[in-house]
Every structure is written in C-alpha cells, then in structure tokens.
Chains A and B, each alone.
Chain A
Amino acid sequence: MAAPLTLLLIVAVTIRAVLFRSSWAELISERVEVVSPLNAWKRVVEGLALLDLGVSPYSGDVFHETPFMIYLFHFVVDYAEIVFMIADGITAVALYLSIQTYNKNVFRKQKYALESDRYPADCLELLRSPKEMFYIPLKVAMFYLLNPFTILSCVAKSTCGLNNAIIALFILCTLKGSALLSGILLALATYQSIYPLTLFAPALLFFLQRLYIPVNLRRSSFWFFTLQYAFIYVGSLVVITGLSFFLLGSWDFIPSVYGFIFSVPDLTPNIGLFWYFFAEMFEHFRLFFICVFQINVFFYTIPLSIKLKEHPVFLIFMQIAIISIFKSYPTVGDVALYMAFLPAWSHLYRFLRNIFLVSCVLLACSALFPVLWHLWIYAGSANSNFYYAITLLFNFGQILLVSDYFYAYLRREHHLTHGLYLKKKDGTEATLVLK
C-alpha cells in the first residue's frame, strides 16, 4: 500500500507546486473563503516584520497567530511553500495510518462478535469485508490531499493546514494508544485554536475503551485514568503557554489570539455564521449572543459523548465537523479535514437519506460563493444578503450532512443488535425515525 500512497503524495505535491507558481496563487490567497483573519499568510508576514523590528507582533491588531507559529515561520519563512506542502502530506499520512489502525480494530471486534454469535442472522449483509475495507485508508488520504478545498487552503498558505496536521497527528497518536503523546498534541491543538478542546472527551473515551475501563463514575480506575489523562493535557497546555510567554516576554498573545477567537471583533465575511449576525446586531446584545454562538461548539460534546460513548472515533469525526461549522472564523481548510473522514464511513451509505441532496447543495454553494462575492464587491449590484444566503445554505448543507451520517451510524448499530428487518408489533414492516 505504500506505493499508491507515495504516488498520491507526488500527485498532490505536483498540483500544489504548479499552483504556487501560477498567477492563481495570489488570487486564491485573497479569497475570504480560504483565509480568515486568524490564518491569513499576509498577516503572518506582517507579524514577522514586526518581530524583526523588535516590536511585539501583537501590537496593531493584525496578527493573531500563536507565538509558536511565528517562531516556526521565523526560521522557515523562506521555505513557507514547502512547509505547507509537508504539513498537508503529514496530515494525509497520519489520517491514512489512523484509519488503517481503526479499521483493523473494527475488523477484530467484528470477528469476535461474529464468533460469539452476537449478531442477528439477517445482519450478515451489514458486516464489513476486508476487501471493501482495504482501500479505505488510501481513499481517506486521497479525499484529504486531492480535495479542492485543501488544495486552495494550501496554495493560499493558510495556517489552517498546520492546525489540521496537528489534529491529524493527535488522532493518530490516540488511535495508536499513546496517551502521553495524544495529550501533548491535544494541548498543542488547543493552544493553536482553542476549539479542539472538545476532542478531549472522545480521546478519553477511546483510551478508557482500549484499557477496558468501564465509564462508571463510582469506579476508582475510571477516575484514576481520567485524572491522569487530564493531568497530561492540562500540564502540557500550561507548559506550552508558559513557553510562549518566555518566547515573547509578554502575555500579549492571550487577548490577541484567544480573545480574538472568542469575542469575534473582525467581521470580514467568511463561510461561517458569525460575521453577518454580529454586523447587524445592536451593540448591547453582543455579549449575550457571543455566548450563545460560542456555546454551540462546546455544547454538543455532552449529548454526543453520551450517545456515542461506545464509538469514540466516530465521535471525533462528529466533533471536528461541529467545530468547523460553528467556529468563529471557519475556512474551507477546516471543512476539508472532516470531509476526509467520509470514506471511512462508506459502509453507512445504505442508511444515508439525503447524501445526494447535500452533495448538490455543497457543490452549488462552492460555485456560488465567488459569483456572489463578485456581484457584491466588484460589480456592486448585489449586497451582503446575497452572500450570506449562500453561507447559510452551505452551513445548512454541512449540518444536514453531519446529522445524516450520525443517524446512519446509529441506525446501523441498531440493526446490528436488533436485526435488519424490523417488524412492528402487528407484524408490518417498521421504519426507524430519528427523534
């Protein structure tokens, strides 16, 4: 399997290298769908210039990257294009290995369950075959590397690609079972953009499942491991933050990065839901609605963790998707990360209900974003409402996509325990409804 993956990497790098050299690169790096105030390359360059002048990069409200990021680029700014290509490669390989590991686990579990005769007889067609699972990791890597969204994000040199690489490495370490590395990488991801904080729950659930520790609040082993993992996580977070302080010698970055993410002062249009709403709102409601909007990202963790506590990897997927929909400055690079997981759930296909509609909606929206932007900004004939309408539709499509996969996953699990052909009490065919 190494050969196709290498081939894929070469193709992906070639496409990116060609685009970097073409006249499109500049155009792409200006698109609001691809870069946000948080991760625009232009702002990184500005921060670097300030740093070289001996001024704090956070003075002037342009730069919102973390101190690690600016020191990373301080050394490799001349090789930025290569760094971004490598980051994409790392993400793809990490996702490839994680899904491979995950599939092995899934298959092993399925084998045990089959041997112990736990599946109803009519469910055999729902079981997964090694033949079908063989190409999934490669498809995942392909979905990430050749996704136009990733390519655009990479060509625009949006630092979103680096954040994705950290999250992908975190997933890999988690699935490989290394609690220490997983905790450290999760802390790093949190440090980069806060929102990955919600991935703590699925990672913890995964380790508990792996170590056969039941999720039981009265068991000491549960608390022992939870505290252990939380300690690694919080400890590394503190160390990383402390290091950043020593790097710059000031706490400037806290309000400038995390304050910026939470309070959403920059209302440049993007593909998210925040900008239009906060541009229209009366100032004295702002705090209240910021809380309401930000809670969205974190709130779903609790019900999802309860519902999916047996399936932490699917929970990771759900969480990443929710982050990319509800975060304050989303870009297409975030969308690309969770879309890479879709091939891993290809066995759910028969239970998906709206996948066709959703793919049409997402496709049409992607085409309409630049068109309506042109009409609004350049032609001056449309206005922000046109653009926001498409943003809403795009997010509606994403939410429908995620909830559809959620429903399909639960339904398959339901069938695996209760049999495929359900009957109502009176003997007629039953239908499952998600309520």
Chain B
Amino acid sequence: MGLLSDPNRRKALTGLLTRLNTPICIVCYLAGIVWFMGLAFEPFTLRTYMSENAMGSTMVEERFSSGERALSLAKEFDAHKRQARGMPVEWLVKAMQSRGLEVFTQSFSRKLPFPDENKERYMVRGTNVYGILRAPRAPRTEALVITAPCSPGNTNNQAVALLLALAQYFRNQIYWAKDIIFLVNEHDLIGTQAWLEGYHHTNITGMEYSPLQGRAGSIQAALSLELSSDVITSLDLVLEGLNGQLPNLDLANLFYAFCQKLGVLCTIQGKLQRNDWDTAEGYTHAAQTMMLMVLKQACGRSWGDHGLFLRYHIEAASVRGINSFRHYKTDATTIGRLLEGMVRKLNNLLERLHQSYFFYLLPSLSRFVSIGYYMPAFGLLAVILLLRVSFPGLCHCFSVSLQPSSPGVLTVLTPVVISHLTGVALYLLPVHLQEMAVEHFPVSETEAVVLTAIAIYTAGLALPHNTQRLLSGEGTEQGWKVLKLTALLYLAVLLGCTALINFSLGFILAVTLVPITASITPHMPKALYAVVMVLLSPAFTILYCVFIYQELIEAPVSVSEGWMLFLSVISQGILDHALYGSLVYPLLALFIYPCWLMFWNILFWN
C-alpha cells in the first residue's frame, strides 16, 4: 500500500511513466511479440506428461485383431451407402444389432439461415444411428462415446467399419466399467449437434430433432474417428473445438503415449515432430505448428466432430487418418488397437479428466506451453493500453469529466452509441436482408449475406464521424481525450475477457489493434493514418489470417483465391454462429468493431 498512499513515491512513479511512456510502450509491444514467438523454442516449453493416475500406471494389453474384417465391412458399407444414396440406416441398425448393441436412431432436420456453399446444403435432413454397449461391471452411470461421421462420397467408410469391428470386439470383453456409445452421425457437425442436444435435453440452436429413445450415463470422454483409406501413414490429432475450447491435455498425452507404444506416426496440425530444436529449421517447424494451432483456435469453429462435445463438459478429440506417399504404412488392425487402448484407459477413469491443463498451446505433440507461459505475451500487449490510459493528459481528462458542468460525458456518448448501433446492424442485417438483396442484385444468397456484411462494415467508416459533429457542435480537445480514454479502457477489458476464454483470438486481435489504438490522435496526418487504421482493422486481420493459414498449411493462394476464401470464411463464421453458437462473429460485430470505430472517430475528430 506504500506505493498507493505515499505521495512522493507516487509522484516519482507517475513522473517516470509520463516521461518514458512511448519507449515503454514500444518495448512492451516488441517484448510481447518476441515472448510469443519464443514459446515455440523447445527449452522454453515443458515436456508433456500424464497427470491422471488412473491412466498412467495401469498398462493395458491390446488384442484387437479384426482389422481385415473391418476393411471388408467398409466395402459392404460403401455398397449400401451408394444404394441408399445417403446413410444406410437400416443396414447400420442391423449391423449394430447383430453385434449385440442396443440400437436407436434419431432423426433431425435443420434449415440453414442461408445456403452453405462450401458443403452445398440448405435444408438438412438426416438420421443418427447409435448403439449402446452396456457395461457389465458397473452401475451404468458413466459412458464413453466413439463417433464416426458418415460423410457423402466414399470418404470415411473405413472409420464406420472400424467402429463396427471395435463394437463387435468390445462386446466380448468383460472389463467395461462404463457404457460405450457407438455413434454414426450424418451431416457431420449438424448431426453431432442434434445428437448432443437430444442427449442432454437442451435446445440452444433451434434444431428440430426427435427425442432419444435410449440413453447411457453421463458422458466422460469422446473420440471421433475419421479414416478414408485402408492403410494410413500417420494419425493426426485434432483438438481445437468450438469457441477455441480445448480438451484436457491428458487426452492428447494418452493419444501420444499409444502412438509411441504401437509405433504409429502421429502428427498435430498435420506436422510431424522434429528432434532438431537447436537448428533454425527445427525452430521454424515448431513455430509453424504452434501458429497453426493459434489460428485454428482463434477462428472459434469446431475443427472436427469432437468440438461440440466440449461445450457439454465432455473431453473429446478427433483422430484423423492420413495417407501420404511415405513407405511406412499402418494397417487397420493397429489403428483398432490404438483406439482399443485409449478406450480401455478412459474406461479406467475414476473421475472426469481434470488433472492436467485445459489452457495450452502445442508446438509439437510432446511439448506444451501452459497458460502461465503464454499469458505474459498477451499481458505485455494489454499493459500498453493501460499505460496509455494512465498517460497524465488522459488521467486529467478523467478528473475533468467527473466535474460538474463539463461537456465530456455527453460528447462521448454520441460516438459510443452510434458505433454500437453500427455494430448491431452488422450483426443483424446481413442474415435478415438477404432476400431483399437477392431480389435487387444478381447474387446468390450466400454472396448476398457476405457482401451485405462487408457493405455495412465499410459504411460504418463513413457514418459516425459525421453525425457526432452535427449533434455536439465543434469537437473539443477535451472531447477526444475522454473518448480515447473510454475506448482504451473498453478495448483493454474486451481483449482481456476474450483472451481468458480464447487466448489465440485475444492475442491476434491485440497484435493488430493495440499499436494503432494506442497511438491514435486527431493531430496526425489523416490520410496516411486512415489507411493504416483500415489496414489494421478487424476485417483485414481476418484476411491476413487467411493468407497466413494457407501459407502455413503449404497451400499458398493467389490474391483473388485468397479473396474468395476470405468471403467463404465470413459466411462460415456467420453459419457457425447460427448453427452451433460460435461466438466469434457476435464478438467481432457487436464489440470489437464498434470499439475500433470509436478510435476511427478519434482520428476524424474536429
């Protein structure tokens, strides 16, 4: 408390902060970036280890051997799928029943707010089939889920077949203490969403579905399997879920441990692990892997069927088989054994996975960065906003704005309200105006939605700074300072909350928004700074992320392809919000964009 009550020391501290404000801010920014990039450097990361006792010491022996039978089942499934032109529900029900499961189906339908052009669907109607293997050794209060999506075309047949083969094998074992649910869902995420909502008796996204007839206990963990070839070269683990949620790190550790044990090549973000961390290539590789994870997490969508389970407090991950041109191949039996081992270890759990980390970044499967290590990178960026707030000129404004008869508060209110109304328009109008847009312009519905969003976004740039002058007359020196103070505080709180829920999103936004918002004043060359501000606005951030992502997955795109991708990313973001309740679109439209508009307002203050 000495610092807060001793006036001399306070004066010294504020004096120091005032004199060195700009240098400190620059140093903080650079330090934040360097810290973040340093996270991928191996000596700064921790080695992953299994924290959960129940999964660590108990070794299990894998005996699954019917890989060949699974492959022939896959062919049969493929034939029936072709015949039914969709999911062969009856065949699946019969197949599961003959393997001794309790089988149930659930039908669902969902009308998308506008057609999804990536997956070519609008009115979705489908059926989920699931079979429950009742645990012989326990009171059936807990369950595990293995799911395989039934995708159109001839993808994922092997996954469904392996699921059936595993069901047959599991049925004959006596050690199950948890019910095991084998779920084959149609229309990937929409089916999973319907099933989960049905299972938990909730309806948060306006889906229509028939109630579930059979139910097991509370689901402890879930694995989603995606497999499209008879042999694979490596298995890829996908962790990023809805709104950037991640499963407990122990689930990743479990996967890694079994890959090591069975000698299966395993990757994360499609990148193999390298052992040469001390070379430049080794570091770049780790940094790329981590950046991919950050980008995927930041976009807040579910990258596999597992992502929706996380919302229900169920630890889940997707395992994806990859077949590339390597010589070393893994057959279906080994994959089956790997899954058997994982499920058996999960079966040994005494309580939900909670021992290990929930907040982490993975530069490789064997190394992780925990929240304590990565938060300082964000903290260093956020502290800039607070330093600029405590900038004495602004501090003084705060005192003035509290004094009676100062115009401060009212002049600030107009731009704040107008920015937020623009945000609300950006959030509501694109979906609601699509019919009108389609009538008047020669575009499809999806294009109409995306283009309306971009149009409102651009219109917002022209709107606010004109209106506030009409309402409050000449803008004063005091006025913009109060507005800047409000906006800085607002941004700091906003980014802080975002980073707690989804670190990657908060960090990416902070990297682009902080430098310009911290330095903006109305006395700068307007044209130049307007361009810089637009280039660092949230929409351009998304555009950069698209290009960086394409670069990182080694599929670089040209500018026009990038632009098309950008458009589809926006439409997917809006769809994800409507279908699964992803929060990135409302966050950007209702909060980040209005906040950015407030700074835009300051630039044109006069």
Residues of A within 8 A of B (CB): 132, 135, 346, 349, 353-357, 360, 363-364, 367-368, 371-372, 374-375, 378-382, 400, 431, 433-434
Q: Mark B303-340 against chain A: 1 for CB-CB distance below 8 A, else 0.
A: 00000001101000000000000000000000000000
B565 proximity list for chain A (CB < 8 A): none
CB distance from B383 to the nearest CB of A (A): 13
By beta carbon, the residue of chain A nearest B357 is A381
| A380-B358, A400-B4, A433-B6 known; A349 vs B399 contact (CB < 8 Å) | yes
| The stretch of B16-24, B467-475, B493-501 that contacts the partner chain | B493-501
| Mask of B147-186 contacts with A, CB within 8 angstroms, 1/0 | 0000000000000000000000000000000000000000
Q: Is the CB of B8 within 8 A of A378?
A: no
B497 touches A368 (CB 8 A): yes
Known: A356-B395, A380-B313. 4 other contacts (CB 8 A): A353-B4, A356-B398, A368-B500, A372-B500
> By DSSP majority rule, is chain A's interface helix, strand, loop, or mixed?
helix
Q: How close is A143's CB to chain B, nearest CB, in angstroms? A: 12
Contact present for B389 and A360 (CB under 8 Å): yes
Task: Kindly provide the distance from the CB of A66 to the nearest chain B CB, expressed in whole angstroms.
Answer: 37
Q: Is the CB of A371 within 8 A of B245?
A: no
CA distance in complex: A381, B399 (Å): 40
| A315 smallest CB distance to B (angstroms) | 22
Q: Is the CB of A431 within 8 A of B496?
A: no
- The answer to the question of B83 belonging to the interface, with a C-beta cut-off of 8 Å to chain A, is no
Q: Are A378 and B497 in contact (CB under 8 A)?
A: no
Q: Name which residue of chain B comes closest to A407, CB basis.
A: B5
A46 to B398, CA, bound (A): 47
- CA–CA, A371 and B496, complex, Å: 10
Please provide the chain B residues from 497 to 536 with a CB less than 8 Å away from any CB of chain A in the complex: 497, 500-501
Q: By the criterion CB–CB under 8 Å, are B501 and A431 in contact?
A: no
In the bound complex, how far is the Cα of B402 from the Cα of A132, in angstroms? 12
A360 to B493, CA, bound (A): 9
Query: Assuming A349-B399, A360-B489, A368-B500, is B4 touching A379 (CB within 8 A)?
Result: no
Instruction: Report A140 CB to chain B, min CB distance, Å.
Output: 13
Q: Are A379 and B493 in contact (CB under 8 A)?
A: no
User: In the complex, which residues of chain A have a beta carbon less than 8 angstroms from the beta carbon of B404?
Assistant: 132, 135, 346
Interface size on B, residues (CB 8 A): 32
Measured CB to CB, the closest approach of chain B to A247, in angstroms, equals: 41
A378 touches B496 (CB 8 A): no
- 1/0 per residue B358-370: CB within 8 Å of A? 1100000000000
* Minimum CB–CB distance for B506 against chain A, Å: 11
Consensus secondary structure, chain B interface: helix
Known: A372-B500, A375-B501, A378-B313. A353 touches B10 (CB 8 A): yes
Instruction: Tell whether, in the assembled complex, residue B493 and residue A364 are in contact, meaning their CB atoms are under 8 Å apart.
Output: yes
Given contacts A360-B389, A381-B358, A400-B4, contact A349 B500 (CB under 8 A): no
Report which B residues bind A (CB closer than 8 A). 4-8, 10, 245-246, 310-311, 313, 352, 354, 358-359, 386, 389-390, 395, 398-399, 402-405, 489, 492-493, 496-497, 500-501
User: What chain B residues lie within 8 Å of A356 (beta carbons)?
Assistant: 390, 395, 398-399
User: Which of B246, B386, B399, B493 has the largest count of A CB atoms less than 10 A from its CB?
Assistant: B493
**CB-based nearest B residue for A404:** B4
Q: Is the CB of A431 within 8 A of B8?
A: yes
- Specify which of B6, B358, B390 lies most central, judged by the most chain A CB atoms within 10 Å of its CB: B358
B402–A353 contact, CB under 8 A?
no
CB distance from A197 to the nearest CB of B (A): 29
Within the complex, the shortest CB–CB distance from A127 to chain B, in Å, comes to 15
Distance in Å: Cβ of A342 to nearest Cβ of chain B: 10
Chain B nearest CB from A133 CB (Å) reads 9
The residue that B5 contacts in the complex, of A135, A374, A379, A434, with Cβ under 8 A, is A434
CB contact under 8 A between A364 and B402, given known A379-B245, A433-B5: no
Known: A349-B399, A380-B358. A354 touches B497 (CB 8 A): no
Residues of B within 8 A of A434 (CB): 5
- How far is the CB of B83 from the nearest CB of chain A, in Å? 43
Chain A residues with CB under 8 A of B10: 353
Inter-chain CA distance A431–B7, complex, in Å, is 7
Shortest beta-carbon distance, B297 to chain A, in Å? 13
**B493 lies within 8 A of A367 (CB):** yes
Q: How far is B8's CA from A124's CA once the two chains are assembled, in angstroms?
A: 26
Q: Compute how far the CA of A332 lies from the CA of B511 in the bound complex, rounded to whole angstroms.
A: 34
Contact B500 A375 (CB under 8 A): yes
Name which residue of chain A comes closest to B243, CB basis. Answer: A379
Contacts of B493 in A (CB 8 A): 363-364, 367
Chain A nearest CB, measured from B382 CB (Å): 11
Chain B residue nearest to A364 in the complex (CB):
B493
